[in-house]
Amino acid sequence: MKSNLYLLFFALLFIALHSCDDKTYSQGERLYLAHCGNCHMEDGKGLAKLIPPLAGSDYLKLNPDKIPCILRHGQKGEIVVNGVQYNQIMPGEQYTEIQINNMINYINTAWGNDYPVTTITATKKRLELCNQ
Ligand code: HEC
């Protein structure tokens, strides 16, 4: 009887561990593909002079304070990414702080990007300071 319980315990443990997505920032990836990939492309390379890249983007690397605000409130006007000037419109969306944080951690580590990951506390603070 006891050994059956052990068996059950290990079976449940096995199922629990394997149902966890082992991919890092998988919610961020799902959200990215659903909300950003159309424009920035699945491979993060953007689209010619219309949509700036996220893969290898110096702007993404150098402006961690601005990124949460861009995701929530959008971005328009001149912006220079990897030496190329863009002047288009990106719409914002009412994502939660957690969604924004997960998406940033995804784009900061996808496609060979090795930019620092962010915390929910930092993202929350940055969102409070948008437009100031
Ligand atoms: C409708 C197309 C569109 C969608 C959807 C979109 N973006 Fe953008 N994004 C743009 C454009 C266009 C710019 C540049 C705006 C400008 O010229 O000022 C931009 C700029 C950016 C920048 C800063 C510049 C850079 O390349 O590093 C980041 C970061 C970014 N977007 C991330 C995202 C993320 C993450 C999402 C999904 C939550 C997203 N975008 C959704 C079009 C889009």
Residue 16's pLDDT is 61
- Domains defined for the chain, CATH in brackets: 26-128 (1.10.760.10)
Encode pLDDT of 21-58 as tens digits. 546 689 999 999 999 999 999 999 999 999 999 999 99
R_g of the chain computed on alpha carbons: 19
Distance from first CA to last CA of the chain, Å, rounded?
65
User: Is 54 a pocket residue for ligand 1 (Cβ < 6 Å)?
Assistant: yes
Q: Judge whether residue 13 has pLDDT over 70.
A: no
Point out the ligand 1 atom lying closest to the alpha carbon of residue 79. Answer: 18
User: Is 113 a pocket residue for ligand 1 (Cβ < 6 Å)?
Assistant: no
In the Cβ-directed half-sphere of 93, how many Cα atoms lie within 13 Å? 11
Encode pLDDT of 88-131 as tens digits. 999 999 999 999 999 999 999 999 999 999 999 999 999 999 98
**pTM for the complete prediction?**
0.87
Q: Judge whether residue 64 has pLDDT over 80.
A: yes
Q: How far apart are CA 17 and CA 42, in angstroms?
A: 28
Q: How far is the CA of 77 from the centre of ligand 1 (A)?
A: 12
